[in-house]
Structure formats: C-alpha cells, structure tokens
A and B are shown apart, each in its own frame.
Chain A
C-alpha cells in the first residue's frame, strides 16, 4: 500500500477538474507531462482579469489599460524571478515550441552558416528537433545528435567529442519527456562554453518540477511552456541573455514591437517587447503569474522532492510487474515513467486504463527518432504533478494487472 509522504496535505482538492468521475470512476490524471491541470487560483485569475481589468496593454492611457499593463509586466517579473533571470531577458511566447522556433529563426538564422553543425541530442522532443532540422536545411548546415546510453542517460563522452568540433549551436533538453532523464545542464553548458558554443536549453519538462536558475546554468537561451506548470495554455517564455536579444533581428513584426514606423522603414522597440508583436496573451500571462505564485507557495524544492518520491514509488511498483518493461534510468529522473506492457500496444493499454478513469499518454510522445533508438514504435507514459498521490500509482498498477488479464499475458 502507498505510504503518505506529502505532509498530510492533499493538493488534489486545489484542482477543481480532479473532483469528478470519468466512466464512473474517480479521475486519476497521469498525463501532466503533456499538459498539467490548473489550480483554482489560476482559473480565478483569468476570470478576474476578464471581469475587471481587460484592456489592451502598453499604449492606452486609460485606467484599465494601465492596470492591465501592470498586471502583464508583474507576470513577467514573477516569471523572471522564478528562473532567476532579469525581466528584460524574458519574452512571452505561446509555449516552448514557439520559443525554440523564435530562437532558431532569429539567433539561429543570424549565427548558423553554410557548412556549420547544429548539435542536439537523441532524446529531443520534435519541438527541439524540427526547428533546427529546418534551419540546417535552409543554411546547408548539418544536424548532429549526441547519442544516449542504453540506460537512457546522455552519453557525455559523445557530447564532449561532438562539442570538440565546435558546432554553431548546442540545443538540448533539461529533462527528457520520455525517459525522464535529468541531464547535467550546468556541466553540459560549461563543456559547450569552453569551446565557444552557444547553448539553448529546452526547459519544458524541468520548469514544472525543478527549481531553475538560468543565471547559474549559464545557457544563452532557454524556453518553457506555462501549461505544463499549472498555468493556462497559450503562454510560455523564452529566456535570452540580454546582449543576444539586443543583437537579434525580430521574430515577427507589426504592432507593439516597433519604436517608430515610416512608410519605408521601422525601428524596433526595446527588449523584450521587440519580440512580442501583436496583442499578447495577456490573461494567459496573468494566469502564468498565478501558477508561479501557487508553486512558490509550496516551494519548488518541495515540488521537486514530492515528484521524485512519486516517480520512485511508481518505478518500484512497476518493477514488481514482470510483464512491464520500463524505459529510462532508474535514478536521477523526473516527471515521467515510460513503459510497455507485454506485447501490447500502448494504445490498447491506454484504452483499458481509460475504463478505470486513469489517463495516461500512449504513442511516440513527439519523439519518433528516440523511439527508433529505443527500438520501439510507442510507449505508455505516466507523468505526475503535485496533485497526484501514491494511491494514484496503486490504481495504475491495478489497471496494468487488468491489462494483463484482458490480453492474457
């Protein structure tokens, strides 16, 4: 049986959506790495914004516009503090995908030349692969991959060897969305910086669970999504060192991002607004601010510890099932547990669990090249956040036993 480790407080009650039955069973949500659920204070913050403060930001001189601008910029400040960065280094975007596209289309476009190499890893999500692949094709550059070890960790010797050849950019994920591997970010960044290589960090899976300090990590850029860290969808952030943001061309052009416009020319706004063309997702940013407040009230150290406890309990219990294969390292991992059940396809597992009110993800998790490396077409993935309990893991285990029965494994 599950032990209670979470200081007797059940965060589940803060998340209205979890208080419902799915197919007659209480919902067990194990798909947070895809998108997390939202606490009541986040939902209330968006509602409050639209009911009391909605107006366009930055240009209005009326009360509501000033208020909305202040709320939007407060959210930026909270986001910056959350990752130990400065406000002007935080650009609001739709999410990590748009963030990495922004970096590739501006800094990448400017700094990658024909014959250069862009280095990523075999464990990247498509969002940190396809933008670089397309940039490489445009520039006639080469895309190279740091290999992974059989235990699902990154091969650091291979990373060192490939960094030795001085690629133009090294972009890698902090935490794998399939293997759960926590990469040694500071070490990798140091290795890259020693060779003068620019570093981009995909923090989509780490921002929800780990205390982040972009200043200490030392990467040139990072990107993360709000919706995986309890905030609404459609909001996320790019972190960029100020000197880079200053020197980069804009991503999109139009309103908000300009200083002056004549019929034939335009000059750009200061950073970070230079990268925020058009009307931003203002309510979303306010929601992100509320999510950060919620997480910080618990404390990211505690969020990290609790997640680690859930993940290791899940690993422990799944290892007891001889018909289950687990992917990824058994320690130093975060957020997700990927596995397969006998000769079952992950969709069939997911369908059977769904009948029990259990939501997991199945398929290739936007990591087709990684699936190829692992030699599978798909996996099941259970992922956790603060609202999950040890009891959820027990229910998952029971669900998997049902799969075994139905498929006569």
Chain B
C-alpha cells in the first residue's frame, strides 16, 4: 500500500497571492487536483484546520524528521534581516526566526518547491534597497545561493524547483506536483533557473493576440491600445519565459489581453528592471531588450522593412482601444460570391 504524498506549505515574506491564484485552479479545482495526485496536505496556512499549537506540532514533526515529507513548498521570500537575524519574520507562536524553520524543513524534504518569484529569487520583497534582506531559497536575485546555498540538493537529489511568477498560474503548480507525485519529475524537467520547463519552454510572445501587430511593428502608444507594446510600453513578452498566452489566466485572460505589458515576472530580478515598467528603454530609437535569440542587425533590418509594409488596418488599430478597421474578405466585395454559378 502506498501512502499519500505529503505536502507542507509555509509562507514568509510575500503577499499570499500565489496561494490565492492557486485557489482559482480550474479543470479541476485545487482540492480535486491534489486528491487526484494522491497528495495529502500536512499543513497549509490558508486551508488547514490546525492552528497554533497543533500547527506548530505538525511543522515540528516534519522539521525534526519524525515524520516524512515528500514536498515542501515555500511561498514568499526568506527574510534574513535585520542584520542576518531573520527577525523581520518571527514565526508566530515561537521565538524562532522563520528562516530557521524554513531551513530545517527544507533539509528534510524529498522535493523543495519555491512557489512564486519571491521564494525563488527574492522577488518584489527584495525590491528597492532590500533593507529587509529578502532572498530566495536558492538564489538571491540572479546570484546562486539564497538561504540554502548553491549546492543544495533535496532528498531526491534535485535543486530547489523554482515555480517562478508573480503570481504563479495555478496550473504551473498543480501540474508540477502531479508530475512529482507520479514519480516523473527530474533534472530534465527544469530550465537554467530551475524553473519547470513545462511552462518556461515557451515565451510569453507565443500565442500573444497581438502577434500581427508585432510582425508589422504597429505599436501601441498608451496602456489600453491594441497594438504591440514592445516598442513603447515596456513589454518583455518576446523575452519572458512563460506560457501566459497559451494557457489562459482566469478563464480567458493574460496581462497582454488586459492591455498592459508583460513585466517578465518569472525572471530573477524582474522587480528592478532599471527603467519605468511601462516604458521601453531605447538607444537611438531601438529597444534595448530585443526578442530572444534575435541578432540586433536583423531586428533593425526586419523592423524597418515590416514597418514599411504595415497594412493600413493595423496602422488604424494599433493606437486604439478597440478595432476601428476590421479585416474583410475581398471576395465578398468583388462579387466573388455568385450564387447563380454554384454547383448543381
């Protein structure tokens, strides 16, 4: 008889938004998704009945090694400040810095999951001067290390699995956990930042509803416009690694569909882009950040060529918040539909 896959979830320096996003899982819902994967929740701060002393006992049983732990999930950054004490987050009900609890639990788990960009890299909590010393489990921004160190390996010999995103899409989590529970998640399933390739094998650009505007460099000028947001509005969809425009958010959406740019929230350091988020930094009119794997000379050449060829329809629509010129089948206007000449 196989026992259930035991999952413990802790939160630290974050907003709880990854849990809240996860509650929106659909087809199936979160409870069903975990049940189908054979996962038992040892404790989750938003979902479990156990509180206070009982919750501490469950966490301690795992941290001490008395009870096994298959999957440890951390949501939120590890708070190392002030002055390395970790006291910006003391675990409620105890005198212990949360970072120590996180470390003790992580060392016991077969798989360690950093849920969201905060837990993976420090994320938004590490923005500004990072006075609070927010770091990820195995990264401090782009620097390998974080709380657990660059050489950390979990019980099954894997590095921390970084389900980066701000927030995560619910499927990024549920599918990773299902794959782990099925025993078919290994090194081949993660990318260079240890993110699951299932979603970072794509660019946000893939499936973007604005692709035609991109192809002809027909650009949006304001937040709300239909055109491509790369040239003026800071969109990083051609560089960002995620499947946001292939896998719908909340039924049908994505940032791009909401008419605002991709801010590359799955990448380490996204919280400090070095420019205003919704403005594209440029040198001599050319965006500094070019599409992934695109040589600059070719980008410039193709952009000027495609700008010269932009259809009027795209020019009309690019800087509008709704289509003003629609595609239209010329066959209809040329009298191509001749009912009298149809087959007998």
A, B from the same assembly: no
Chain B residues proximal to chain A, CB less than 8 Å? none
